[in-house]
Chains A and B, each alone.
Chain A
Amino acid sequence: EAAFLIRSEGAGGLAQWVLVELQGEVVPRQSGGLAGSLLGDLHYTCKGVPVLIVGHHILYGKVVQLEKPFAVLVKQGAGEPGPAGPHTHYTVTALIKTKLLFKTRPKPIITHVPKKV
């Protein structure tokens, strides 16, 4: 049996995506899935340091060039395997050469500090 990986037919080469790597899990605020919800805001400082704001937490990360880049594969047409049947295809949709790694402990953003009287 064989499955084929094919470069996707797109104008002007393969899309470049970015990976964001977070320690731990991202969970939705309310019950319900993650799909459609806002994850957070991504900023870069003038020195190029990525900053992620998720909920009321702030995370500082770093840009890492991946030693081993990733290819993003999308499975297509998984027909019944068999000698005459179509082989499974995976299309290479994008390449990921860069990741934003956030491994420092998230800091809560405190917007109101009561003054000591």
Chain B
Amino acid sequence: SLVIRGEKDEQAVLCSKDKTYDMKIADTSNMLLFIPGCKTPEELNADQASCDIIHSQVAGFSNNYWELRRCRPKLKKLRKLLMEDPYEGPDSRKDQTLTSSKYTTEDLLSLIQASEEEILHQLHVIDACKIEGYWRVLEFDYEMKLLNHVTQLIDSESWSLSKVPLRTCLEELGSLEPREMIEHILLSYGRKYIDDAGEVYFEMHEDKICRAIAQMLLQNAVKFNLSEFQEVWQQSVPEGMTARLDQLKGLALVDKTSRPETIFLLKVEDLPEDNQERFNSLFSIREKWTEVDITPYIQDLCAEKQTVGALLTKYARSSMQNGVKVYNSRRPIS
């Protein structure tokens, strides 16, 4: 079956099990009559016998109909809802108050304008987990605390980053943090696999770990001197990992025009979901963008089979600057 979802202040969408569609009313000046049981010429040909009059009734008529167009699921609200009450760990006193806003899968299905599969997929992407039946995201500091436990253990045990044993992590860290949280952080930052002996291991995601540490450093100031940042960042990541700027796509932006060069936090998930609003927001942050710089901040806007190039053609105007192609707004930004 299909579901129409939306609150009173939202535009309705129709969802199948795994897709989302915008619903619009289409008007026509023609009159559309619906006739049940009306036969087409092919159907009458097949039925040679009858030469009788068939009495049919017009069931109804209309000047308009609902049209569906496949659209991106509206998932920004999901993160917003879950960030109302991020999980800060078992010691936090917050969870014990009754006023916390928490959401079950059912709650999310009735509030988020997306199909069930799209919602569940997004929950996985944002590393949400179910705690006592409610979907939660971890508060960033708590998440870093968990990650730090794991990376320190990897270091002290001299494990290979691609072979981190679940069992030992739970044994060593189980007294510090809930076992579910230890397993959750390993799942969030690593790829789970089972070896021939049936033991569970994790191959840690170097890029994702470096990226999280960068966020931790960058969120404490408006901007950083780029070279200083790179030095501190490399020193902060686990032994054996290489911190690289390309790990920060969609998270931070480098300003090459300032002297010295600087870097600042800019998270794509903090930007508007609507195409035009997203471009307005980006152009008010920076007047001219190269394709390389802007791509991570508009990639998620691409519809099925749409390219970043097509989006840029539609929402931006290009020009050359110092021999490089740059994009700016089509209209003046206030």
Binding site for B on A (CB under 8 A): 1-7, 15, 17-26, 34, 39, 42, 44, 48, 50, 63, 68, 70, 72, 90, 94, 96, 98, 100, 103
With A1-B5, A1-B6, A5-B3 in contact, do A98 and B31 touch (Cβ < 8 Å)?
no
Residue-wise, chain B 105-128 has the 8 Å CB interface mask toward A (1 for contact) of 000011000000000000000000
Q: Determine if A21 and B32 form an interchain contact, defined as CB atoms under 8 angstroms apart.
A: yes
Q: Determine if B32 and A19 form an interchain contact, defined as CB atoms under 8 angstroms apart.
A: yes
Q: Determine if B31 and A17 form an interchain contact, defined as CB atoms under 8 angstroms apart.
A: no
Question: Bound complex: CA of A68 vs CA of B67, how far in Å?
Answer: 9
Is residue B49 contacting chain A, with contact meaning CB distance below 8 A? no
Is residue B175 contacting chain A, with contact meaning CB distance below 8 A? no
Is residue B58 contacting chain A, with contact meaning CB distance below 8 A? yes
Residue-wise, chain B 37-54 has the 8 Å CB interface mask toward A (1 for contact) of 111111011000000000
Q: For the complex, would chain A's binding face be called helix, strand, loop or mixed by DSSP majority?
A: strand
**How far is the CB of A99 from the nearest CB of chain B, in Å?**
8
**How far is the CB of B73 from the nearest CB of chain A, in Å?**
15
Residue-wise, chain B 61-105 has the 8 Å CB interface mask toward A (1 for contact) of 100010100000000000000000000000000000000000000
Contacts of B42 in A (CB 8 A): 48
Q: Among B41, B58, B67, B110, which residue has its beta carbon within 8 angstroms of that of A2?
A: B110
CB-based nearest A residue for B58: A39
Q: Determine if B32 and A2 form an interchain contact, defined as CB atoms under 8 angstroms apart.
A: no
CB-based nearest A residue for B10: A1
Contacts of A4 in B (CB 8 A): 1-4
**How far is the CB of B29 from the nearest CB of chain A, in Å?**
8
Question: Bound complex: CA of A94 vs CA of B41, how far in Å?
Answer: 20
Is residue B324 contacting chain A, with contact meaning CB distance below 8 A? no
CB-based nearest B residue for A1: B7
Interface residues of B in 2-46 (CB under 8 A from A): 2-8, 14, 29-42, 44-45
Q: Determine if A26 and B4 form an interchain contact, defined as CB atoms under 8 angstroms apart.
A: no
With A2-B110, A70-B65 in contact, do A22 and B30 touch (Cβ < 8 Å)?
yes
